A and B are shown apart, each in its own frame.
Chain A
């Protein structure tokens, strides 16, 4: 796999910034990864889909290895892979229809379980209608853009969709612009509207005169609360999130918008929780079992909320969803400089004591009540479906 010089330089610069943590935060990382991958698709030479998939996978492996804790990199790579596979499948479908008239899906239709008879019939009907549709479209000279299968029907779950009927080595010249178009719309444009999509749901979750608690500085949560404050009056209590003190910045931003804000120390969270109606936090990443990787202190807040039976809402965009499973939660944590905890000016103390400063916290799924994401909301038990829709299970290991 050979990338063009300019592109290689861009990739190298991105990798070194990731390694040095000069680019931190899932939004920035995701955007840059998507742009790089789009350039890869457009500038590299590939003749068929398998070559392209290999190129993307190799590059994705390089990028994730640069900073394994930034899960957003891997997420975007997997989404691009899924898009490629979908486009190829769609192309082959239209090709087949133009050729022999039967689509791949109806072949699959004959190999399902006996129990699903009714569904099979209705699905086969549905698919033949679909085939007719595309047939009609393809009879006009330009093939229509195939719809992405973002909603897997119950039927598809039971059938192995990755049957080797799909031939990725088929050559088709229409794929390149289609893939680039899909990346532009599904990923890059989507990233732009993520904050709005979440903030628009704010009024459904916040009632008047509420007391909301939050921790850390999350742009998503800030936009969420700001949008709600336009129509409702409520108060916010922000935990300062030592040692980075992101919470203080968040409080200043919220107060500037006109929300009544109180800043408390982390130690006061349990004491003050009896006063709180809801907890709203942001996430760094969401893992396959519905657990979160969030800023340090979030587990504390969520556990205190559980003890007081206070609901916990997590505002997160779908690109933060990762198909990785937390077998070992330490894998997702990163320890940053201990200077913030015990400063180097304490000289004699430093080398005698072991000082730890983990940056993230893992919040187990039983502490979260609801994920509010840009396409709606979902309880933690539904996260696996969202993962199925957005990623291919083969791509979990890059």
Chain B
């Protein structure tokens, strides 16, 4: 008994928080015991009765804790209390996870929520991102890139040609404006300077395959400039790079489009009924040129949710005076009866001859080839990539799933069944942007170098390497 004082700390009973006893109580009433850290009489010093009392007290305290909803172990209960005093009141929602301390529980609950809304077999793809305009690192970037990034993120600029050209012109501007630090030459520094800009664009929206090819080409040009012997002056290096970019845009995109239109016109006749899907800038140019040249043909524009890109194409064609029909993708078999040929655009052409294009293209090509209707794909050679994919899920881009939910503010109808989809644990929405059309559905690819079968894609790629 003489050892009863609060300064005893035995190693076995370490730093138990709220449940330490003041071991100097001989009577063993279980309700005594004030929260003190570590002051306990050594167990072996207690009498049997005291030990009994201690045990009973602990059991009672444990029951109290469980009734109060705290973790049943004393150690964790004290930790939780300590954290609760420190952290902000956001913990309320996670108080039901008693097995882990509070902030971790919150993080875990958030992670669970995110995982619930994610499609598990597409967890290898990046979820849709929002541009981080407030970040500090963006201060070092050229404002043109920030503007471009915003346009990409909000889908104000869509379409692979448009995005590529915009990106290259922005880089040209950056190169024009860039003044290297005094200790480095332009040619050696420009690469390092461009990298954060590229990284920013990547963070905003995943790069299209053709954009990656362009960047690869640009890096090759820069490394060629570096290797020049004798080394170029800053001014001439800058001018040369800007010139090369403009030349690339002109040769591989603008003039290529014109050649594609010329080549494609060979395949259009009077009385044709041409079906096209979504909006491709090359196909639009082809159809407008055909109308200008006086051919008589009809166009069927097939469109799909949620982007409705075909509507923009419809507008342009109708204002040019072309006879158009407009349907949604689900009714494609009904309109295919009258169609004589199908012309599609592409986002990229893969090494195995498959076409990587807007989602839904595979369906159109499959339906057409089932009905023996020829399928033509118009694609510039800069879009030929050295990749292969056999299904559409390995590499894709996921869009914002909320776009699938129709917001009809006027009346109650079935579209509102999904308005709170995030609260339903078993429900997920998937908004994919691209798909892969296997080469067996495609008859012909129109490029600026001529009309080729889609399986010749790797040959062309090698030529331009």
Binding site for B on A (CB under 8 A): 240-246, 248-249, 251-256, 258-272, 274-275, 296-297, 299-300, 303-304, 307, 333, 341-342, 346, 349, 352-358, 361-362
Contact = CB atoms under 8 A, between A and B. Distances in A.
B334 A342 contact: no
Contacts, number: 175
Nearest to B334: A358
A368 to B, nearest CB: 15
Given A252-B427, A299-B333, A341-B327, A274 B391 contact: yes
Given A242-B330, A270-B435, 19 more contacts: A248-B404, A248-B414, A251-B427, A258-B426, A260-B426, A262-B428, A263-B404, A265-B432, A266-B330, A266-B363, A267-B360, A275-B121, A299-B333, A304-B363, A307-B366, A353-B324, A354-B323, A355-B325, A356-B331
B426 A333 contact: no
Interface stretch (B62-70, B224-232, B233-241, B304-312): B304-312
27 contacts: A241-B330, A242-B304, A251-B417, A252-B424, A255-B425, A262-B119, A263-B428, A263-B430, A265-B431, A266-B360, A266-B363, A267-B359, A267-B435, A268-B359, A271-B391, A271-B393, A272-B392, A272-B393, A300-B330, A300-B363, A349-B315, A353-B318, A353-B324, A354-B323, A356-B334, A357-B327, A357-B331
Contacts of A252: 417-418, 421, 424, 427
Given A263-B428, A263-B429, A264-B432, A249 B417 contact: yes
Interface residues of B, number: 54
Given A353-B318, A355-B325, A264 B430 contact: yes
Given A300-B333, A352-B318, A262 B326 contact: no
Contact of B328 (A242, A246, A269): A242
A346 B311 contact: yes
B318 to A, nearest CB: 4
B32 interface: no
A174 to B, nearest CB: 50
A296 B327 CA distance: 12
A303 B370 contact: yes
B332 interface: yes
A61 B396 CA distance: 54
Contact of A266 (B305, B314, B366, B415): B305
B60 interface: no
Contacts of B417: 248-249, 251-253
Contacts of B392: 270-272, 274
A332 B370 CA distance: 22
Contacts of A251: 417-418, 427
B174 interface: no
Closest 8 CB pairs of A and B: A267-B360, A297-B330, A271-B392, A271-B435, A255-B427, A252-B417, A270-B362, A267-B304
B426 A245 contact: no
B141 interface: no
A255 B362 contact: no
A271 B436 contact: yes
A271 B359 contact: yes
B439 to A, nearest CB: 13
